[in-house]
Amino acid sequence: MPAGVPPHKTIDDDPGIEHRVEMCRLAAQGHHDWLEVSEIEARRDGPSYTVDTLRQIHASQPGDELTFIVGGDMAWSLPAWREPETILELARVAVAERAGARREEVREQLSGLRGAGNVDYIEVPRMDVSSAALRQRVRSGQSITYLVPDAVSDYIQERRLYT
């Protein structure tokens, strides 16, 4: 779910939401039986706040149980997000560890929030690759092969995005 206007960061040389949605579609190719791209935030005017997205999903699918998957670095910053306790009421949060935000650090950071018990830690192979690092690699002419699906790498190269 690409954010239309991310509230917490600016993207250097942002190619625009249309390109970011298409790159998500390309990344999801071949996995349509269990993975799809949502444009909820891409269609929203103004900043894309997670709490608003979760409210919108609950309104359209009130019986669904939601899990919000996030890297440890983003989970660590959750107390600074808009309405973090409401986020924890609306969805379970599944956290994947990343460099600089290990499970214990995230747990301590979130401990003061009501609903901190709705946070799960998932075991996935740790890959400390961020979107900022990928964009920097493209800008400096380094390969992103094996870091993103080939179709996404080709799309970026063909359209000269992030250069």
Same domain, 54 and 124: yes
Please count the structural domains in the chain: 2
With residues binned 3-state (H G I as helix, E B as strand, rest as coil), the percentages for the chain, rounded to 5, are 40, 10, 45
Decide if 106 contacts 95 (C-beta within 8 A): yes
Q: What is the DSSP string of 71-116?
A: EHHHHHTGGGSSSHHHHHHHSEEEEE-BTTB-HHHHHHHHTTSTTG
Which domain covers residue 100, as residue numbers? 50-128
**The pTM is what?**
0.84
- Neighbouring CB atoms inside 10 A of 141's CB total 7
pLDDT in tens, 27-66: 999 888 889 999 999 999 888 899 999 999 999 999 999 9
Of the pLDDT bands very low, low, confident and very high (cuts 50, 70, 90), residue 127 is confident
Spatial separation of the C-alpha atoms in residues 63 and 137, rounded to whole Å: 42
Domain match, 61 and 107 both = yes
pLDDT in tens, 59-106: 999 999 999 999 888 899 999 999 999 999 999 999 987 776 788 889
Residues 36 and 54 in one domain: no
Q: Is 135 within a domain?
A: no
**C-alpha to C-alpha distance for 98 and 78, rounded to whole angstroms:** 15
Q: Let me know if residue 133 belongs to a domain.
A: no
Phi, psi of 2 (to 5 degrees): -70, 140
Question: Is the pLDDT reported for residue 12 higher than 70?
Answer: no
Question: Considering the domain boundaries, does residue 137 fall inside one?
Answer: no
